[in-house]
């Protein structure tokens, strides 16, 4: 009699599904998506963009530089001084050399500062530089 009860318990254990390999696959996929995801770095300031009739939509902007209406330069939710701007862009380009630089200048900001940001991006080695606008 005792042998039958042991045999039945062993059969029940054999019929259970082992979920460990499935959980391993799920965790590996989760790690893969976290590592390969591109994180967008916001400039950290609200910008009222100027309108443009010839605006072209671009995807995958990796480096966003904001110029506020108070004529402050913003990157990664921090203000950046004019002197340190080129070095900051260079540091971001080291991580991803094919990055697009998008300048988000407020409609009431100084055009001189917009040109300064664009020149700093060129000096840092950025190839694709755009100014963000609203399409009418």
55: domain CATH number is 3.30.420.270
Establish if 105 belongs to a structural domain. Answer: yes
pLDDT of amino acid 40: 58
Say whether 68 sits in a helix, a strand or coil: coil
Residue pLDDT tens, the chain, 136 long: 455 555 565 666 667 778 888 889 999 999 988 877 766 566 666 666 666 666 666 666 678 888 988 999 998 888 999 899 999 999 988 888 888 888 888 888 888 999 999 999 999 998 888 888 776 6
Q: Which domain, by its residues, includes 120?
A: 51-135
Residue 55 within any structural domain of the chain: yes
Tally the domains of the chain.
2
Kindly state whether residue 41 falls inside one of the protein's structural domains.
Answer: no
Is 43 contained in some domain? Answer: no
Distance CA 89, CA 21 (A): 44
pLDDT for 116? 93
d(CA 91, CA 45): 21
Within this chain, do residues 21 and 77 fall inside the same structural domain, yes or no?
Answer: no
Distance CA 36, CA 59 (A): 17
Query: What is the structure's pLDDT at 17?
Result: 79
Same domain, 66 and 12: no
Token pair 């019929």: residue = 15
My answer on whether 59 and 93 are in the same domain is yes
pLDDT for 53: 63
Domain check: are 18 and 62 in the same one?
no
Is residue 46 included in any domain, yes or no? no
- Same domain membership, residue 12 and residue 69: no
Instruction: Say if residue 55 is in the same domain as residue 107.
Output: yes
Question: Are 51 and 133 a contacting pair, CB within 8 Å?
Answer: yes
């Amino acid at each position: 009699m005792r042998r039958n009860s042991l045999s039945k318990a062993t059969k029940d254990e054999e019929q259970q599904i082992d979920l460990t390999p499935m959980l391993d696959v799920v965790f590996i996929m989760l790690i893969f998506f976290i590592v390969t995801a591109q994180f967008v770095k916001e400039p950290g300031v609200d910008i009222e963009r100027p309108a443009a009739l010839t605006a072209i939509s671009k995807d995958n902007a990796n480096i966003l530089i904001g110029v506020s209406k108070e004529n402050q330069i913003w990157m990664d939710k921090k203000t950046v001084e004019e002197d340190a701007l080129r070095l900051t862009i260079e540091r971001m380009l080291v991580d991803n050399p094919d990055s697009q630089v998008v300048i988000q200048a407020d409609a009431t900001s100084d055009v001189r500062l917009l040109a300064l940001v664009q020149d700093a991006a060129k000096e840092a080695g950025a190839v694709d530089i755009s100014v963000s606008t609203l399409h009418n």
